[in-house]
Structure 1
Amino acid sequence: MTRSKELFVDKSMHFELKNLNVIDMYESNTSENYLLVWIRKGKARLDVDDKNFLLQKGSLFLLYPDQFWKLIGDQNDSIEGVLLEFASDLVAENKFFKLEEQYKLILIKEFPVVHVEEKWQVRLTDIFEWLTEEYESSSYDIELIKYKLILVLHIYKRAFENREALPELNSVAMRFSKLVGDHFMNNHSVKFYADALSISSKQLNLILKESYGRTTQEMIHNRLVYEAKRNLIYSDVSIKEIAFSLGFQDASYFNRFFKKLVKCTPLEYRIESSGFKSTIVGA
């Protein structure tokens, strides 16, 4: 059974709110908007890019534009929650999204899930109930909606900053993350990034292992695989064209590269992914 209850959609403002119940699997369509998901009850696994997170009652997560994600529900304890999608222009003046917060933004992309304390769970429930009532009314005040959204973001920020064992990223790790995002399609070598950061390949490897728990090569390869998967699922572009767009001059080498990391060929992955179903049951 697949059903979605959209409480409000205004494409001109790029704002959408849904109550959802994930019984099986809900897979994203990447977009230019941010996504906040609040879990009221149940359990599930969240896959984001190449990472996995356990969700349960009180989980709140924030995803950035173009992140590839999916929820895999627990058949015995299905998730109930709220999905809130919004464009950056709704919160453009909020310091949470300012450039000086780039350190936190990188960490959030790596560790997007937080657990909200019980007292804040009550407040989140009140906020989303208010949003529901506002959307179901014949008129609404966009400034109040923005205010409520910012309240949710502040609750997320508070929980994020209070979480345990949050790693420290030094400036090199942060600059590397940006460089990979800008150049991974054309530059696959560790030396390119080490030279750009004016350090040795060995030093860069040690810094990234400490900050992210992964080697330089693993991070470059993970970014390539993530982009390849996104193209295989959400586009009709040929595998050969995908290979060339990612900087592989030989499509057969791209096939071997993908199979080594994903354990199946690009074609097998595309066929398997075409069978994914989105299961959202309106609350």
Structure 2
Amino acid sequence: MDNRNIPGSAPHPMKTLVPTYALYGEHGQGLVPESLHCESIPQRSSLYGWEIKLHRHDLFVQILYIRSGEVRIQFDDRRLEARGPCALFVPALHAHGFRFSEDIDGAVITIVTQQMEKLLAPHADLLAHFQAPALAVFESDEHGRRSFSLAVELLLAEYADTQHWRLPLLESMLATVLALLARKIATQASQAPGRRTPRAAAHLHRFRTLLNRHFREQRDIAHYAGRLGITATQLNRICREELGLSALGVINGRLLAEARRDLAYSSLSVKEIALTLGFSDPGYFSRFFAKHAGMSPSGFRILVRNQLDRQRA
């Protein structure tokens, strides 16, 4: 099998036909304790004949760490194959499915999207690498494999423990895992033919920084390109090459992330959230959210609140 980078893509239109699970294979399970869940891939996948059928998550991202064994992957309408040692990143709202070999060994780490964004908020350039599906291959990178493997194993061990200060340790270890994974994804991108020049990386970093400061102002692509001293066409090309998204897709993704956070964790009305995000028409905000999230803002809020209530019960 050949390990290959996964081309990034926006959620495929078929997503509305794909079941939405709390964790893969489970309908209606509440949010996981501490915004984090870790489990064995073979223990879970063996219950389903080593196959996790196509599904998606509205609230979670996942990291699959494959120590050994093989996996066939479907992301939206793309298919590829990989073997360990490797790691997969699965963003929220992307349809995905897996077929594992029976000798598979590894773990899946499920993280509430809001928690990941909170951990990485000070590092916009790092967070940028988690906007699209990604595959990190360690086959010829012994140093990267050892570092990432150690970080994951420490996280898994702490997750299974009950000693004092477990939560701050889990948060610190999770941040380390995410940073090492982003480093590997970025390194692979820089080594791909015709990809990621230092100038493009600098433009992307500045774009994400500006976007985090001004996304509520609903600035267009031309505004950001002008601030960067490049054309809108160049900015689009950089975003597609580095993130697998158009510049507009990056802007919309930032708005959507903030809208999801406000709906889930604030008491603001849908109209108030729309206004804080720069939408003068709440109806337009509702249509924007439904188009990109697959459900209405009020429907999303009800889903999250029901899951939170089940967690507390």
TM-score of the aligned structures, taking structure 1 as reference length: 0.54
* Cα-Cα RMSD: 5.6
Which protein has greater RCO, CA pairs closer than 8 Å, 6+ apart?
Answer: 1
Query: Does 2:246 correspond to 1:220?
Result: no
Deviation, 1:270, is 3.3
**Residues 69 and 266 (structure 1), Cα distance of their counterparts in 2 relative to 1, 3 Å cut:** closer
Residue 18 of structure 1, aligned match among 39, 45, 51: 39
Given that residues 206 and 228 in structure 2 are in contact (C-alpha distance below 8 angstroms), is that contact kept between their aligned partners in structure 1?
no
**Residues 211 and 194 (structure 1), Cα distance of their counterparts in 2 relative to 1, 3 Å cut:** closer
Letter in 2 for 1:211: I
Given that residues 71 and 82 in structure 2 are in contact (C-alpha distance below 8 angstroms), is that contact kept between their aligned partners in structure 1?
yes
Deviation, 1:256, is 4.2
Superposed counterparts of 1:35-184, under 5 Å: 36-40=63-67, 41-45=70-74, 56-58=82-84, 59-61=86-88, 68=92, 72-74=96-98, 77=100, 81-83=107-109, 105=126, 108-110=129-131, 112-117=134-139, 157=183, 160-162=186-188, 164-165=192-193, 166-168=195-197, 169-184=200-215
- Structure-2 residue corresponding to 1:281: none
SS across alignment from 2:216: coil
Letter in 1 for 2:66: I
Corresponding residue pairs, total? 242
Residue 231 of structure 2, aligned match among 204, 208, 224: 204
Given that residues 204 and 216 in structure 1 are in contact (C-alpha distance below 8 angstroms), is that contact kept between their aligned partners in structure 2?
no
Given that residues 38 and 60 in structure 1 are in contact (C-alpha distance below 8 angstroms), is that contact kept between their aligned partners in structure 2?
yes
**Residues 170 and 26 (structure 1), Cα distance of their counterparts in 2 relative to 1, 3 Å cut:** closer
Given that residues 65 and 88 in structure 2 are in contact (C-alpha distance below 8 angstroms), is that contact kept between their aligned partners in structure 1?
yes
Instruction: For 2:211 and 2:82, locate their aligned partners in 1 and report how far apart those are by CA, in whole Å.
Output: 32
Deviation, 1:204, is 3.2
Letter in 1 for 2:71: G
- Structure-1 residue corresponding to 2:279: 248
Given that residues 46 and 69 in structure 1 are in contact (C-alpha distance below 8 angstroms), is that contact kept between their aligned partners in structure 2?
no
SS across alignment from 1:185: helix
Instruction: For 2:73 and 2:302, locate their aligned partners in 1 and report how far apart those are by CA, in whole Å.
Output: 21
Deviation, 1:188, is 3.0
Given that residues 114 and 160 in structure 1 are in contact (C-alpha distance below 8 angstroms), is that contact kept between their aligned partners in structure 2?
no
Given that residues 207 and 224 in structure 2 are in contact (C-alpha distance below 8 angstroms), is that contact kept between their aligned partners in structure 1?
yes
**Residues 180 and 17 (structure 1), Cα distance of their counterparts in 2 relative to 1, 3 Å cut:** same
Identity of matched residues, %? 20
Gaps of 5+ in 2: 1-24, 28-32, 46-51, 308-313
Deviation, 1:107, is 5.7
Q: Which has the higher helix share?
A: 2
Instruction: For 1:127 and 1:119, locate their aligned partners in 2 and report how far apart those are by CA, in whole Å.
Output: 16
**Residues 206 and 270 (structure 1), Cα distance of their counterparts in 2 relative to 1, 3 Å cut:** same
**Residues 227 and 211 (structure 1), Cα distance of their counterparts in 2 relative to 1, 3 Å cut:** same
Deviation, 1:81, is 2.5
Given that residues 60 and 110 in structure 2 are in contact (C-alpha distance below 8 angstroms), is that contact kept between their aligned partners in structure 1?
no
Given that residues 45 and 52 in structure 1 are in contact (C-alpha distance below 8 angstroms), is that contact kept between their aligned partners in structure 2?
yes
Letter in 2 for 1:208: L
**Residues 273 and 198 (structure 1), Cα distance of their counterparts in 2 relative to 1, 3 Å cut:** same
